[in-house]
Structure 1
């Protein structure tokens, strides 16, 4: 149909051009008209096929398609002019000029009329939700174009927001740029907006946080456009938006890994992860799997959790390397030595621990047995069998500890630092802040409370914590293993601490509710909790980064003999002495004990 239509236009246009000028310029002969017509027809179809004008989806036509038409028409006119010159010794410029214009208007119009018809009559769904697009750049423009032309999407873009003053009041695909980010609450009310789409894929975490603060002042649903790399790779389409996650609001960029150094430590090696069924341990296993180790040992005492991570990894990587699930308790010293003897791992990531602060206040003996004795068993087994690297997953609560959990983790740090002085194994520790979404953390608790209709319980309005994601925490453990020289305590630059109450408010809003609907209740500080957490003590601070966003604490001298005696007594008398010492270490009134040990 398009070939036939173009043929009619080409054959007609030159005659229209000739008879428009004929009363004034009787210059064409009938033979010349026929030759020019046939030349134009043949050359037009030749160039039309060259520029694929008959293989385009014209309902999506834009500038690129118009340029293709102009190239084909212009080149066919030039060919006709050359033929005229060689046959007649002259070029009829005026007639060819009119012919060129008619070709452009009629051929271009025939193509774009289908798009205009489709846009006018196929996208008239008045039930679509009104959307405000944040970002009038290339990504936002692409998104608006997709939303306008798509019949399947439920959104109708009615306005842009962009902080570039040069774009103010401009229209992109008929959609106006109304104002800046700070104007979002006013525009949502004025334009009756139901959805807000953040369409700036290059935004940093801080910028997302800033924009979301304005969006959270409204009742509109806020979503984010997919990353450009995901669009290019075909993983998602332009209008597949994702919800804003709590992780987006941390206000800092995630740590980037030194892939080469990590690969040298892991690829083709035997890796042991203790606590492999836990939140951190299981994610470490997933991250390690990407580097294709020779053998991955999944050690944990929870049968169900080890089964789950074992099945997950076998489904993904079962053919890439050997996966061995090991049901064992780190408190079982003989079993730990047996595991090291049989499998001889190259690297150990020790993530097995009791970590719930209030629970450990009521169960100090169990905290000691798992966090101190368990660590000592695995660490000494690593020394005995010459394991190259041992990485302890520690916590910011080990700094000036005011609770049992933090105290046991500080003693675990002392155990491996002492071993590092005499062993060929490189022992290091990694301190985290709170890990978003891990078992026992505030996020799952808040989500349950929101699902139940609230209120969300927060301990204190001024309580702050450092936060990181589970994948980020796991990557930090792996990076620490790659950087390990022995005796270090690695700490992530976690940016500014986050108020727990702000986290609760954000999560309520992300769940589609207001704080008035759900409510926030302050329950008071629980046993052993600090108002503010620290990542390094005053005498441990080392300002220089050893890797982007990663710091190393100074090695602090401590009296290990006292700790060793208490551990020995603990093992002999089932927990009494060391548990009492831990309770003392965790008591603010007896903070002097910390100084005695340090």
Structure 2
């Protein structure tokens, strides 16, 4: 019977439409408690209860209820009541004593100070006890429901007995429909071992995870440490992924602070968690200086890098954000996302246009007069560009040249080129075109009032050109996961951290620099494939096969971020370096660009390599060198 009543009250507390009903029920219970305590106090102090009329009792209850309402004692949820609610009840009851005594004295003068002291303490104890009993019964009900579901529930190991772990345990117990049964906790604080959290025992440290998983027949591990450095998290993940249990985690502290998610949002461990990189440090005041109240244009703004640029730029209150993209679906997606998030707070303009079309781009510059341009529009897929080199030239080289020349013409403040590590000693046409783009902006910077800079970084996880989406799709289809070579290595960053560093570099720019982002340690692609298979709950080459297919046209075994002759200069941010500009023969460069333009316009694919090797001396086809 009690359990049924608890379920009814719990349902009422969960339903926002029945919130008033919950308040009325609690108000009625407190009124009854006030009346009973009045009568019991009279009896305890030797008063003749039969000689008292109902009037002083009604007055006393009414005044107490009024003060309880004034101190908002009914605004908190029963299940979340704590010290603040107890304090509110305490203050409200004591504040009600004086007006109660004054009014009751007019109707019955025999009540003394002792009565009010004893009575107010009795009321406080009674009200707090009702709430404690409710919470205790509710918790017992949750435990019963979780245990009833135990046979069909996943057995869960919680990593972390701190605040985040407590929140997750509470969430699991309060939502038995999730069918997750917490059976053990681990924590590296040895003083917590042997104790319990919400009745769940702390059985060891993270070093004991493998043993506990086997002994307790664990199905799922949830890493519940929000404020943890990336290397430590990676070490824990490495321990966990060597067990047979599925692996999940809560968001990191930076995701929580950023407002993207809250601590109780459990998610699958992602490949990004294995990078072991520390969060990017951004100087917010510098961001405000270059973006706040400025008209900012992002070309290729619908792409993976471009759209993240738009998201982060929008945070710094630009006067207007202009998104330019030739692909309407991507442009529409980021437009709707920003509208949903910012509504009327962001002055947003989305334009469908190609950077190849100089006249159209001129019209856009003339009409909107951007002050800062982030140029992310480019063809990026290496194998596709190997088969269509003239398209790579038209879009990457001359699209960039169009936007850069217009930036100079309209005297914008900064032009930031999104480059790639494939521009360093390129072995494919895509990399060669991006190196040519770097040369273009360095050449223009010499005579322009616009600050032209490039930011060079490696692969970004989850971008359109990344192997990760391909691997995920192959895993979903049952494999095989294809790797071109067992020794292929790449540098990786997440999209948000790459874009954050791009913005930070642009704030540092004085003109002519090639900023090189710290990409961390290179990662073997075959290791990436193995980890992704494990994180998906499978065993590599048992459940999902890995197939080595051979290097693709233009593909290197490894990437570099710097040419030998460039050198490196430190900046105020340890994650950003500056490559020294390489001298360019301006006259010869312009002549060769004109030749390249005619070759591309005539779609003479067979001549592209010859011209590009002349423009970019470091461009060497992979098949021409020993790797």
* Structure 2 length-normalised TM: 0.77
Please tell me whether residue 129 in structure 1 is matched to residue 154 in structure 2: yes
Please tell me whether residue 383 in structure 1 is matched to residue 408 in structure 2: yes
Determine helix, strand or coil for the equivalent of 1:271: strand
Number of aligned residues: 567
**Residue-by-residue CA offset, 1:331-363 (whole Å, 9 max, x unaligned):** x44544454444432222221222111222233
- Using the TM superposition, name which of 187-196 and 361-370 deviates more: 361-370
C-alpha change, 1:498 and 1:561, in structure 2 (3 Å) is same
Residue 553 of structure 1 deviates from its aligned partner by 1.4
> Residues 226-305 of structure 1: matches in 2 within 5 Å?
226=251, 239-305=264-330
- Using the TM superposition, name which of 109-118 and 3-12 deviates more: 3-12
Instruction: Give the superposed CA RMSD.
Output: 4.3
- Using the TM superposition, name which of 375-384 and 456-465 deviates more: 375-384
Aligned partner (choices 437, 442, 457) of residue 417 of structure 1: 442
1:86 maps to none
Contact 1:273 1:299 in 2 (8 A): yes
1:587 maps to 621
Determine helix, strand or coil for the equivalent of 1:124: helix
Aligned partner (choices 187, 193, 198) of residue 168 of structure 1: 193
C-alpha change, 1:266 and 1:414, in structure 2 (3 Å) is same
Aligned partner (choices 139, 163, 177) of residue 164 of structure 2: 139
Residue 198 of structure 1 deviates from its aligned partner by 1.6
C-alpha change, 1:4 and 1:143, in structure 2 (3 Å) is same
**Residue-by-residue CA offset, 1:422-446 (whole Å, 9 max, x unaligned):** 2222110010210222223212211
Residue segments in structure 1 that go unaligned for 5+ positions in a row: 19-28, 77-90, 593-598
Please tell me whether residue 367 in structure 1 is matched to residue 414 in structure 2: no
Residue 66 of structure 1 deviates from its aligned partner by 7.4
| CA distance in 1: counterparts of 2:254 and 2:556, whole angstroms | 42
Please tell me whether residue 535 in structure 1 is matched to residue 555 in structure 2: no
C-alpha change, 1:495 and 1:101, in structure 2 (3 Å) is same
Contact 1:398 1:410 in 2 (8 A): yes
Contact 1:431 1:489 in 2 (8 A): yes
Residue 112 of structure 1 deviates from its aligned partner by 3.7
Determine helix, strand or coil for the equivalent of 2:572: strand
| CA distance in 2: counterparts of 1:276 and 1:55, whole angstroms | 45
| CA distance in 1: counterparts of 2:156 and 2:203, whole angstroms | 13
2:547 maps to 521
Please tell me whether residue 120 in structure 1 is matched to residue 154 in structure 2: no
1:157 maps to 182
Contact 2:226 2:263 in 1 (8 A): no
Contact 2:554 2:622 in 1 (8 A): no
| CA distance in 2: counterparts of 1:280 and 1:234, whole angstroms | 21
C-alpha change, 1:149 and 1:66, in structure 2 (3 Å) is farther
C-alpha change, 1:10 and 1:190, in structure 2 (3 Å) is farther
Residue 489 of structure 1 deviates from its aligned partner by 0.6
Contact 2:33 2:126 in 1 (8 A): no
C-alpha change, 1:304 and 1:417, in structure 2 (3 Å) is same
**Residue-by-residue CA offset, 1:168-203 (whole Å, 9 max, x unaligned):** 111222221111112212212211222222211112
Aligned partner (choices 539, 559, 576) of residue 550 of structure 1: 576
- Using the TM superposition, name which of 367-376 and 309-318 deviates more: 309-318
Contact 1:225 1:238 in 2 (8 A): yes
Residue 522 of structure 1 deviates from its aligned partner by 1.6
- Using the TM superposition, name which of 196-205 and 138-147 deviates more: 138-147
Residue segments in structure 2 that go unaligned for 5+ positions in a row: 1-28, 97-112
Contact 1:295 1:324 in 2 (8 A): no
| CA distance in 2: counterparts of 1:110 and 1:289, whole angstroms | 49
1:571 maps to 597
Please tell me whether residue 458 in structure 1 is matched to residue 488 in structure 2: no
Contact 2:517 2:575 in 1 (8 A): yes
Residue 69 of structure 1 deviates from its aligned partner by 8.7
Contact 1:569 1:578 in 2 (8 A): no
| CA distance in 1: counterparts of 2:257 and 2:379, whole angstroms | 44
